[in-house]
Every structure is written in structure tokens, then in C-alpha cells.
Structure 1
Amino acid sequence: MKRARILVVDDDPTHLVCTKELLEAEGYEVFVHTGAFGATQQVMVRDPDLVLVDVNMPGLSGEGLVAVLRGRDPTRRARILLHSSNDEEALRAAARRLSIDGYVPKGDPRELRRRVAAVLASHGRAG
């Protein structure tokens, strides 16, 4: 069975490495992209099963990136989780407003693994 593919978009290189390693240990194929600019191209080229998007990025926020992804035919159906250290209630509201698959607070590896697995399982993809 083909491994699920995840694209992690974040402006923090340390966080990218940590998240990549954690998700690869779960059996996923993980790609990283630093910052929002160029991430749409990565979604089109990599065709990930899930995009994990940081909210607070310079230039174009995670919410702005999601709006761009939702506005283009090739990326409109991407499964997306916000991944941020923002207040959980604000993340929940943003995910609802953006009509995406949800959110994951940063700093809780167990919850990251659980929510990623749940989104992928709900769409017929596994690790």
C-alpha cells in the first residue's frame, strides 16, 4: 500500500525538521516547505494527501494560504489542518471559517499523530 503523503508548511526550520521526523516515524512520506510563498506549487507538484499549515507566517498567513489553495481548481480539494501555537479556540474558529479538516495545536506530538491519522483515515488513507 502506498504511504500517505503530507506536506508541512511552516516558516520555522526547526519546527519543520521536528514535525517531519515525527510524521516519518509514523510511516508517512513527508515533504516540507518553508513559508507560504510557493506552497501552492508544492501542493500541485507533490499532490499530498494532507497539508499541515502553520498560521503565523510572514508575508502570507496560513489562513491566506488556505484561501489561495481553496481558490484554485488543482488545489481546491486538498485536505488541510492548521498547525499553530495560537489559542485553541481561535484555531477551531479559523478551521470552521475556512471549511478545512481541522487544526492541531503545536507542542503536543501525541495529538498531532492522532489528528493526522484521523483525517487521513476519514479519507481512506493510512500511514
Structure 2
Amino acid sequence: MDKKRARILAVDDDPLQLDLLYRGLTLEGFEVATHEGPIGVTNMVRAFRPDIVLLDLNIPSLRGDRLIELIRRAAGPNTKYFLLSASDESELRLRAAETSAHGWLSKSLTMNEIAHRLREILSPPSEGPVSRRPR
């Protein structure tokens, strides 16, 4: 039986960045949808039901950190949010903390590194080894 592929929605105003994310994350085994800009993104979230939403921090018309507030109303309770940007990492960290995003990713990371971080956030915490008492 195939394991359910994690669904990733990438939102950015740069179509080339969206294409890169789509191709790279699809090759990494994710089910990926993209959306250019903030208009209509809540409808996309309702329809696609992503596990993770990657939001470009610097969308000119509505920054990613502001867009999270709108998307949360449309998304399921288990959806995770990551801010994505080429901005200074300290700004990314601050914006992620202010919006209660689950993290941030620099656009300078390789696709393998991005996929690894996404898998980490999606993996349930391990409970460690199970100890059993001898009978």
C-alpha cells in the first residue's frame, strides 16, 4: 500500500520560483501545488488541503507573514506554515515568530535541504524505544 504523499502549497509572486519549487519538491516525492500571488489563495487552500504552505515573505501586494492570518481561516488545524525568502535570515526568523509560523526557509537552500526540513516538520515525534518487562 502506498503511503500518502505530503501535500505542499507554494505561494510566491515569482513564476520562476514557483516552477523551481514545483519541479524540485515533486522530484523529492511531495504532491505539490503552486499559486501565484495572494488573490484566491484561500480558495486554493480549501480545494487542495495542503499539509504545508510555503509563503514567500516578500509578495508586494500582501506579504506572506500577513497572508498566514487569512489562510489559517481556510486551512485545516494541522496545516503547517513556512515563510520562504531570500531576505536576511534574522528578518525571516523574526517574521516567523511574529506570525506563529512553524518555521522559515531561505531560498538559498538546495531543494534537498528544503525537502529535508519539510519532512522533519511532518514527521511525528518519536516516542523512543519501547521497554517491556520480562514475564
TM-score, normalising length: structure 1: 0.89
The count of aligned residue pairs is: 122
The residue number in structure 1 matching 2:101 is 100
1:36 aligned residue: 38
SS at 1:8 equivalent: strand
> What's 1:2 paired with?
4
> Which residue type is aligned with residue 68 of structure 1?
L
Paired residues of 1:80 and 1:101 also in contact (CA < 8 A): yes
Change (3 A) 1:98 1:38: same
In angstroms, what is the RMSD of aligned CA positions?
Answer: 1.7
Matched residue, 2:58:
56
Separation in structure 2 between the aligned mates of residue 107 and residue 119 of structure 1, nearest angstrom: 19
Deviations, residues 66-91 of structure 1 (Å, cap 9, x unaligned)? 12123x2x326321110101110111
- SS of the residue corresponding to residue 16 of structure 1 reads helix
| Corresponding position of 2:128 | none
Query: CA separation in 2, counterparts of 1:85 and 1:53?
Result: 12
* Bigger share in helix: 1
Determine helix, strand or coil for the equivalent of 2:17. Answer: helix
Gaps of 5+ in 1: none
Q: Which has the higher contact order (CA 8 A, sep 6+)?
A: 1
SS in 1 for 2:123: helix
Q: Is 2:49–2:76's contact at 8 Å kept on the other side of the alignment?
A: no
Q: Which has the larger radius of gyration?
A: 2
- Whole-angstrom CA distance in 2 between matches of 1:69 and 1:39: 7
Residue identity in the other structure for 1:98: T
The runs of at least 4 aligned residues of structure 1 exceeding 4 Å deviation read none
